[in-house]
């Protein structure tokens, strides 16, 4: 009988392990649903259960004002980054969340190093921050467009590892999810956007250019994941052709992460004991 899949089966091997582990992004089936309950309704129920737990844990994170959590979401166009945020965090108090969408850098941002604008958005004590796209765009787009040579790319990977180590060592728990869809699935999702004029605002003709370089992007993802999955900032590959599976799996990962923080409410204040409000 096949072993039940575990979240760590989808973790990208750590960059700094002595023994080189086998990893190929292409080995992961985007249509797989290893953490699905078996039905969309079941998945939604599970998501709702996890959401309630995350809400309680996040409140405790906020009360403690000590630890920080950073979730990085990456994936090809239409892979469901926005949809994941919407679904997974539906139950979580908006007060405790900060969502940071990274778009094409501004002139001022480009006048700094590529991690400058990212560092400024790092979570503060008690905060759960979600990066919708991230500094990883800077080792994907310019690589595919041939604007970064191998040395410059390796240098950025090293800079990213250093940056993420800094965040981790100073109290931030980081998890990174690559929402993995197939080229066929993307075709359907792009076509649906084109066929519905009310959704054209989500679409730019240049999105089709990136699709033409699908294989190059997959290769760039493969390299970046391999070079930057670390014990302090692991990457997970999320099979994402099924939206409800994608949501449940990201939620399960986040739940495990929060449970691992051993969160506790701050102790009662002695100074408040027996106080009567007048």
Q: Footprint of its own copies on this chain (CB under 8 A)? A: 63-65, 82, 85-86, 89-90, 92-95, 97, 99, 101, 132, 187, 190-191, 194, 197-198, 200-203, 205, 208, 211, 265-269, 271-272, 275-278
- Indicate the residue among 110 and 192 with the shorter CB distance to its own copies: 192
- Indicate the residue among 92 and 237 with the shorter CB distance to its own copies: 92
Q: How far is the CB of 116 from its own copies (least distance, A)?
A: 17
- Indicate the residue among 214 and 232 with the shorter CB distance to its own copies: 214
Smallest Cα–Cα separation from 47: which of 273, 242, 264? 242
| Distances in whole angstroms, Cα of residue 29 to Cα of each of 10, 188, 239, 254 | 11, 17, 7, 21
Q: How far is the CB of 198 from its own copies (least distance, A)?
A: 5
Q: How far is the CB of 24 from its own copies (least distance, A)?
A: 25
- Indicate the residue among 65 and 147 with the shorter CB distance to its own copies: 65
Q: Indicate the burial class of 59 (C-beta count within 10 angstroms; 0-12, 13-18, 19 or more).
A: middle
- Indicate the residue among 12 and 254 with the shorter CB distance to its own copies: 254
If you search the block for the tokens 């979240």, which residue do you land on? Answer: 7
Q: How far is the CB of 112 from its own copies (least distance, A)?
A: 18
Walk across the sheet containing 68-75 and list its strands: 97-101, 128-132, 68-75, 172-180, 235-239
Handedness of CA 164, 168, 172, 177 (dihedral sign): positive
CB 104 within 8 A of CB 43: no
Q: How far is the CB of 2 from its own copies (least distance, A)?
A: 36
């Amino acid at each position: 009988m096949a072993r039940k899949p575990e979240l760590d089966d989808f973790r990208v091997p750590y960059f700094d392990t002595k023994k080189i582990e086998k990893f190929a992004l292409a080995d992961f089936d985007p249509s797989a649903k290893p953490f699905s309950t078996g039905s969309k309704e079941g998945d939604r129920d599970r998501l709702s259960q996890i959401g309630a737990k995350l809400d309680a844990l996040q409140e405790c994170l906020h009360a403690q004002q000590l630890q920080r959590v950073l979730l990085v979401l990456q994936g090809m166009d239409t892979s469901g980054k926005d949809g994941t945020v919407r679904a997974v965090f539906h139950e979580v108090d908006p007060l405790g969340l900060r969502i940071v969408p990274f778009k094409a850098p501004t002139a001022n941002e480009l006048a700094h190093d590529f991690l400058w604008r990212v560092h400024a958005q790092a979570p503060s004590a008690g905060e759960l921050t979600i990066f919708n796209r991230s500094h990883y765009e800077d080792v994907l787009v310019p690589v595919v467009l041939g604007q970064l040579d191998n040395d410059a790319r390796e240098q950025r990977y090293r800079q990213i590892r250093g940056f993420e180590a800094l965040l981790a060592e100073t109290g931030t728990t980081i998890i990174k999810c690559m929402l993995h869809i197939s080229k066929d699935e993307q075709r359907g999702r792009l076509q649906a956007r084109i066929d519905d004029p009310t959704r054209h605002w989500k679409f730019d003709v240049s999105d089709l250019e990136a699709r033409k370089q699908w294989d190059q992007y997959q290769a760039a993802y493969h390299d970046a994941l391999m070079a930057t999955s670390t014990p302090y900032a692991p990457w997970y590959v999320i099979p994402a052709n099924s939206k409800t599976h994608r949501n449940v799996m990201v939620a399960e990962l986040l739940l495990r992460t929060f449970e691992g923080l051993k969160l506790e409410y701050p102790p009662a204040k002695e100074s408040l004991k027996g106080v009567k409000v007048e």
